[in-house]
Amino acid sequence: MNAARVPAGRRPVGEATRGTTGHNRLRRADRWTAAVYGPLLVSADRPLVVDLGYGASHVTTSELFTRLRRVRPDVEVVGVEIDPVRVAAAKPYERPGLSFVRGGFELPVDRAPLIVRAFNVLRQYGEAQAWDAWDLLRSRLAANGVIVEGTCSEIGHRAAWVALDARGPRTLTLAARLAGFERPSDLAERLPKALIHRNVPGERVHDFLRDFDRAWALAAPYGAYGARSRWVAAVERLAGTWPVAAAPPLGGRRRWRLGEVTVPWTALAPHGRATPGPGG
């Protein structure tokens, strides 16, 4: 479907929120997006990527542009931001293939995007609003399009994101600087809005983080070889009881060594939220 421009005078969908951002803050998600969706970008006709809610500076959108252009040299990236002052501040950084426009969840771009990245945007909305935003964004995607929606710490050392396609949420990825935490559940504070309030006993995401902490504790002897070896050993153990992605592009030792782990959404979905099965 074509994502139409917002008719003149119509308010963008959403609310301006704090504009905190920073250089390289989203590098973990950028690296993952380039690796996992590189083939999608390469095979698409005129791929368009939207960075929704880029904040007070153009910088994370410009970094995404640079990183994705290494994969697909003619990819177009549009930064969409609801705050007009922030759009005006980013305009001077436009260049061929990179532009900034005012808009909201309706995505005022001239064709359906292949990838929508939204980081540190939905956390400031309510949980039900976040699900509504997911639904609206999914309805704007190109065929085979995906959304990468997540949250990270101030300088990006801890991050979590959900990947969604037209059918709904598909995966959750946790990513951390390996020297930057005590136990995996420290990443819980960065869970996306749809999960953060579900990290309570009886919910699957809570069970998952509890088991990850146990696996991390049992992998302590590997710490002698460094936090990277310990993370890989913990994820391998976790994969014995959870359907952790264990093969490329989403999983396997190469990705785990980066401090990542990806799990199918179906394994973690909050109670009361229907989710599509692996083929559904």
Ligand X SMILES: C[S@@+](CC[C@H](N)C(=O)[O-])C[C@H]1O[C@@H](n2cnc3c(N)ncnc32)[C@H](O)[C@@H]1O
Choosing from 27, 48, 50, 55, the residue that interacts with ligand X (CB under 6 A) is 55
Helix (H), strand (E) at residue 260: strand 260-264
Residue nearest to ligand X (CB): 14
Q: Cα-Cα-Cα-Cα dihedral of 19, 24, 25, 27, to 10°?
A: 130
- Tell me if 121 contacts ligand X by CB under 6 A: yes
- Tell me if 53 contacts ligand X by CB under 6 A: yes
CB 172 within 8 A of CB 195: yes
Cα(150)–Cα(172) distance, integer angstroms: 9
In the three-class reduction of DSSP (H, G, I as helix; E, B as strand; rest coil), residue 204 is classed as helix
Provide, for the chain, the percentages of residues in helix, strand and coil under a 3-state DSSP scheme, each rounded to the nearest 5: 40, 20, 45
Tokens at 268, concatenated = 């973690």
Cα(83)–Cα(54) distance, integer angstroms: 10
Instruction: With contacts defined by CB under 6 A, name the span among 51-59, 87-95, 134-142, 212-220 that binds ligand X.
Output: 51-59
Q: With respect to ligand X, which residue has the nearer C-beta, 85 or 179?
A: 85
- Tell me if 99 contacts ligand X by CB under 6 A: no
Q: With respect to ligand X, which residue has the nearer C-beta, 133 or 233?
A: 133
Cα(246)–Cα(253) distance, integer angstroms: 8
Q: With respect to ligand X, which residue has the nearer C-beta, 121 or 233?
A: 121
Q: With respect to ligand X, which residue has the nearer C-beta, 129 or 199?
A: 129
To ligand X, the closest distance from the beta carbon of 149 in angstroms equals 11
Choosing from 27, 44, 48, 60, the residue that interacts with ligand X (CB under 6 A) is 60
Tokens at 264, concatenated = 């199918």
- Tell me if 86 contacts ligand X by CB under 6 A: yes
Considering CB under 6 A, how many residues would be counted as binding ligand X? Answer: 26
Instruction: With contacts defined by CB under 6 A, name the span among 1-9, 14-22, 189-197, 238-246 that binds ligand X.
Output: 14-22
Choosing from 62, 120, 153, 185, the residue that interacts with ligand X (CB under 6 A) is 120
Q: With respect to ligand X, which residue has the nearer C-beta, 10 or 18?
A: 18
Indicate the DSSP class of residue 71: H
To ligand X, the closest distance from the beta carbon of 20 in angstroms equals 5
Indicate the DSSP class of residue 10: P
- Tell me if 266 contacts ligand X by CB under 6 A: no
- Tell me if 153 contacts ligand X by CB under 6 A: no
SS (H, E, C) 217-259: HHCHHHHHHCHHHHHHHHHHHHCCCCCCCCCCCCCCHHHHCCC
In the three-class reduction of DSSP (H, G, I as helix; E, B as strand; rest coil), residue 123 is classed as helix
Indicate the DSSP class of residue 189: G
Q: With respect to ligand X, which residue has the nearer C-beta, 55 or 251?
A: 55
To ligand X, the closest distance from the beta carbon of 279 in angstroms equals 32
Q: With respect to ligand X, which residue has the nearer C-beta, 106 or 211?
A: 106
Point out which residues bind ligand X (CB under 6 A).
13-21, 25-26, 52-55, 60, 80-83, 86, 104-105, 119-121
